[in-house]
Structures are given as structure tokens and as C-alpha cells.
Structure 1
């Protein structure tokens, strides 16, 4: 019995259990009659799906957030997004520091598994930085959005502040929930709404370890850690590369960019590229996009954001490391090097394991949803990748996949939020030594 408890109490499993508990509590609150508008049904499946989507900072929704949920329901969703964005163990550590000013070893190990820090000694400094960066970024975004809603759209001060806060939290945590049925489509022309949301999503998706590295010299990349350089570099490449690709494929599409002036088309392409990184909001109708744009979005959603960030996906560092492995193999080099640093073989195997298991999860989810729904492969694949990457974009089929489909997507969101991060932490912490080696032999490759 002690062995069983010891295994359950490992840091990675504690993180999973904590998220599961919060999902159950959130589902219970959202299933209460007080959480839904009069005349609406408080379905447990809908509550479970929405709570999982909020805690896993995904943004997929089976019900319109603004019209289905009451203010109480919206506040529950807001709280779940914030908890999911902080991370359960990180939030618990912050509260412990505030109350007692210290962290025990178990708390540091649990937070280490969630935040992907290199050692327990770094946890205290990191979680303090998490709190400062999160509160500062959300406060600044709230102020800009609230001012715009008040001055530009005539919203009452209290309503403007609430809308600003809700979307600031939703964007920084990469949750993707919005208080309008069309997400942010009504603001496609407004840079004072779209651009702050883009910045908030990108900043939230960099990852908290990057902020620590940037403090050493924001404008001196040579002082950054290797992780920070790779994350920032790949984020820029994918953000602007995705913008260009989406701009080329959607430029003349009458259902999306076609009616917009050139400047607004560029802004809409930037907005979509940023949101595929795990942001989840949309300023144009995703269901009207070309199928090749969906494919581009699938790739961006699968890669996702930075490690130990509020975003999902396999993470940009995993994607970049695999690219460096391929490049080294093509060059015939014995070592994989990045920025005059040699990558450990263990790290290469971790990246490969996470990527292949993520591919398997997407394939399995696509197969299941194809069996359960009548939709086309490209629509189903988009939905599955969006759920697994905790993105929240949809081609419009989320509400029509049925109860079994909703449960399948719920599992994908949970696995996508915790799977790659928890697996990465577990692999990093689970290193075994062997006192012997077998004779070398291998099959043909290719």
C-alpha cells in the first residue's frame, strides 16, 4: 500500500491529480442553476466540457459564453482560466509564500514538475516572477482594453472594466474565451483591441523561464540562456512566418480577408497567426477559411507556445530541437549543437518521445471523432489539433459533435494541457543508470 501511495504522490502525478480536482469542482459549480441564464439547461456534459476547456486554457465551447452563462458562470470560467494559466502547483506555491514566506521540499518538487524549472532551488525565484509578470501583463492589458471599450464603444465604466479584465485574463493565459458570440470578429478593424490581445497572447506563450533569462539583459541575447534564445527565435519565426502564409492563402477570400483593406488584412493575418499559437480567439470566420489555411493552422497549433508557458502544443523548443537533430544528421555531424552548445542525447530522446506520442494522440483522437461524427477529415483534424494544442479555434463543429464527441474532446484537452509538460518533467526526473551495455546492432533505416 505504501508503494502505491508513493507512486501516486510523485510530483508529475500530483500535478495531474490537482488539475483533475479543479476540473471536477469547476464542473460542479457550472452545473448549478445559478450558473446558467433563465431558460437554459445546466447540462453536466456541457459544464464538464467548459470547465476542462477553461482550466486547460483551451477556449473551445459548446455554449455561447455570453448568452448561456450568468455573471456567476462567467466569473467561474474567469477563475478557472486564471488558475489554469498560473498552474495549480504554482498558484499553491504563491499562496504558501504569501501566507508563510517559505516552501517545503514537496511543494518545491511539485512546482518544479509543473513549471519545468531545472532544479528545486530555482522554484522560489521563478514563482515570484510568475506572479509579478502575470499580474503586470494582465493589469496593463485590462487598462488598454477597458479604456477602448469605454471611450470607443460607449460601454459603461463597470462593464468596460469587466470586459477588459475578462479578455486580458483570457488572452494572457491563452484560454481563448470571449464574451461575444463571434469571438473578436466585430473588432477585426480595431487595432486598439486586436493588437493588445496579440501582444498578451505572445507574452503569455513565451514561458516564465524566458522572463527570468530576459532580466539579465532584454536587448542582449548573448546573455540569455539557450532555452530563451531558442524560444524567442522560434516564436518570432512561427509568428511572422504564419502571418505571411495565412496572408497569402486568404488575401482574396471573400469570406475572410477579401472585404478588408490591405492594412486590416495584415492585422487579421497577424491576429490569426498569434491565436493559433494557443490564443484561441478569432477576428474572422475560421469556418470560411480555405482548407490549405486550416492545414497551416494545424501545424502552428500542434507546435504551440513555449515550455512552462500558458500555451499548449508540443512546444517550440521541442520542435526546434528536432529540427537541429535532423540538421545534424543531414550534415553527418556526431553531435547536435545549438549556439555553440552540445545537446545531451537524453534531451533529444525526450523531444522525440513527446513529439511522437503527441502525433499518436492526435491520430487517435481524429480516428475516434471521425467514427462519432459525419464531418470531413480536415474539419475533424482541425478540431482535434485545436483541442490537443489547447488552442480553442474551431471550424464551427464543436457544438455538433454530440455527447460522445464532447467527451472525446474533453479528454484531448486534458491530455494536451498536461500530457507533454508532465511527460517532459517525468522523463527529466526519471533517469536510470545501467551497469552494463548490450552488443551494438541495428536494423536498416529508410
Structure 2
């Protein structure tokens, strides 16, 4: 056991699991529910997992079921889960002047996805400043808007503003409103700040580091940053156009809206499936072709080493480059004048394969135990694995075993498929030999 705890790759999943367990116990307390009663273990576990995994799937209404204490506990779990347990602990240590050891650096490096050990302290300070700045600005805008335009009491407006700001920046999608943000469909000053916080955090902190160091001198940006920004732009623009095209005449979503409101909500819902679960439209009323678009956006997700979920933009870009290189019969796959190493290509294929295997297995299991439509179950499963939090409205209808499956998917999706798989392979080692090479027929 001591060997497991010393290895950051194995330690990170255990820390997240420990936080989920602690959160479950807290949410089960009578003080956490608005009615002062004990919450059943499955409901508490599901919501604790959803909060720590910054997903946003819920079986009960966040704003009415949980008390102020319960909502505060959920918000704290979102913040810690979004930053990462080791990142948050190290940040607190730095603020207290403690510094941190090489072991802390290694654990934070694993949690934040292979960051440079030499720059760990600098990057963590950057993470703290960006997190604080974005959350404060967005909370201020939302608070003022809720209080002035929507005439909420200032205390209520402040709590809703802070809650949605933290939830948005951490890509969680939890909302204190029963209908998420559907009540603000035409309000640019509510939807756009939320979307802005989600986009910024979903880029990932390495991209922010590149921006801090090189600003608009893109020639000095890393390949990772170039790929993330290019992929993000393509997915946002493409997703918006496709969503507008598929839902433009839908009487239950965009159909009755004026032009400006249609564009606003089309863009908002192109941002959300890529890792955050807020919705300004009724997702359950989406047409089937729109759901398919959401499958793709949710599966890809956002940038690496941030708060986003999915297989990540760079993983998708690497896979696309591999396919293109094979089609064009090129020796190497790469982008922006750089080629990928074989280790990166293997890792991208591994992430995608594990993700598809988990999604298909969970979909088959949940479909077998319910009478729900395949399209709805698949949407829910991808949303859970990609830690998105969008739902067609079936979460509360699922039996306890299905909820536990979704909770496991959220956990794996937050910890990372590679980290989770490596953590399980406690005794895995490279073989001291290699077999003779022989190539089977493929395709």
C-alpha cells in the first residue's frame, strides 16, 4: 500500500476517490438537504461524484433539494475537483509560504498532465491568478445582472452569481436554477460571461502559459497550444453553424426566437457540449441529428491539462493527422511543420479506444436495464464520461445500478483514461525483450 501511495499515477485516483467519499458523507447529513433529512447513499454518491468530476449531471434539483450548506459543499467540491486535489493543495501550500517537495511536483505534474517540473511553481501561480480573476469578473457581471435586470435580492443575486461563475470556470454545469439557464435565453449578459469562463478554462493551462510568455507571437507557441486553439476554433464555429442549421426551425428550441437570440443560443450550445452542462434550450427536444452533433462535441471535449473533459482536442487532432497521413501515404503524421512521436500516436489511440469501449459497454448495460431510447442513453453516457453534464432529462429516471455506472464513468473521465488504466496496472513493466516483427493484413 505504501508503494501505491508513493506513486503519483496511483495516488491521484485514490485522492479523487477519497474526496468523493468525503463529499458523499457530507451530502448525506441532514444539514445538507433543504428539508433536513438524510439523503440516500446513491443520490449523495452520484452528486458528490458529479461535483468532484465537474460534470453537472443531477437526479435532484440543486437549488431546491440542497440547503445553503449542501450547495456550499457542492461548490467547494467543484472548485477542488476542477483545480485538481494536488494542484489545490499545492496552491494552498504556496500561499502559506510552505513551498513543496519533489513528490508534490510529481503528483501535480501527473494531475495536470505532464507539466514541466521546473515551471511547476510559476504555472501554479498562473493557475491561481487566472482562476481568481475570471471567477471574480464573471461573478461580478452575473451578480449585477441578476440584481438589476432580474430583480433578485442582492444576497440571492450574489450567491447565484458566485455559484454560476465557479461552476462555469470549472466546466461543471451545476446550476441553482431548476431549468439551468433556460430562463435567460435572450440575455447576452448572462449567457456570454458563462460561455466565456467555460471557453477560457477549457483551453487548458499550458495554453494560458504560452499566452503569458509569448502573447500574439504564435511562431513561439508550442505545438500543443497551436493545435488546441485551432481545434477549439474549428469546433466552436462548426458546432455553432451545424446546431443553428439543425435546430433553426424546431418549434421547441430555436424556432420561435428572433435572429439575434437564435445566434446567441446556437453559439451557447456549441460551447456547452464540449465540457459544461448548462443549457439554455430544452435538450430533450433536440432533433436526432442535433443529438449526433452533441455526441461528437462531447466526445472530443476541451483542451488538455485544464478543467475540460472528453478525449481532448489534441487527442482528436492527432488521430485526424494520423488518418490523413495514412490516406496521403506519408511516412510521418504531424501538424504545423512538426511530426508526432510514436509514443504520442499510441497514447492518442489508447485514449480513444478506452473511451469508446467504456461508452459502448455502459450504453449496452444501461439500455438492457431500462426501456429508454438508445439515443437518450447514449447521450447520457457520453455526457457522463466526457464530464459534460448535459442531459435529455432521463437522469432522475435511471435505476440505482445505472446511476452507479454513470458515476464510475464520471470518475474515470475526470481522472483520465490513461491515469486510471495505469493506476490499475500496479505490476506492469516493460519486457526485457522484443518479439520478431511481422505485419498482419489490416483492412
Q: Distance in 1 between matches of 2:420 and 2:120?
A: 19
Equivalent residue in structure 1 for 2:13, among 12, 16, 19: 16
Equivalent residue in structure 1 for 2:156, among 155, 159, 179: 159
Cα pair 1:216 1:223 within 8 Å, conserved: no
Cα pair 1:40 1:68 within 8 Å, conserved: no
Cα distance, 1:220 vs. partner? 2.4
Q: Deviations over 1:363-414 (max 9, x none)?
A: 0110111112110110000000000000000000000011111111111111
Decide whether aligned partners of structure 1 residues 440 and 214 sit closer, same or farther in structure 2, where only a CA change above 3 A counts: same
Q: Which moved more, 1:101-110 or 1:118-127?
A: 118-127
RMSD: 1.8
Q: Distance in 2 between matches of 1:426 and 1:191?
A: 44
Cα pair 1:112 1:123 within 8 Å, conserved: yes
Q: Distance in 1 between matches of 2:115 and 2:23?
A: 31
Q: Distance in 2 between matches of 1:372 and 1:9?
A: 40
Partner of 1:221: 218
Partner of 2:352: 355
SS in 2 for 1:438: coil
Cα distance, 1:431 vs. partner? 11
Q: Distance in 1 between matches of 2:329 and 2:89?
A: 47
Cα pair 2:9 2:423 within 8 Å, conserved: yes
- 1:333 matches 2:330: yes
Q: Distance in 2 between matches of 1:174 and 1:421?
A: 21
Equivalent residues, number: 441
- 1:197 matches 2:194: yes
Q: Distance in 2 between matches of 1:270 and 1:431?
A: 45
Equivalent residue in structure 2 for 1:418, among 411, 415, 418: 415
SS in 1 for 2:149: helix
Q: Deviations over 1:67-107 (max 9, x none)?
A: 10111111011101101111001001111212234210111
Cα pair 2:10 2:423 within 8 Å, conserved: no
Q: Distance in 1 between matches of 2:165 and 2:352?
A: 31
SS in 1 for 2:416: helix
Normalized against structure 2, the TM-score is what?
0.96
Q: Equivalences for 1:76-95 in 2 at 5 Å?
A: 76-95=73-92
Normalized against structure 1, the TM-score is what?
0.95
Q: Deviations over 1:282-313 (max 9, x none)?
A: 00100001011111101100100100111100
Give the gaps of 5 or more residues in structure 2: none
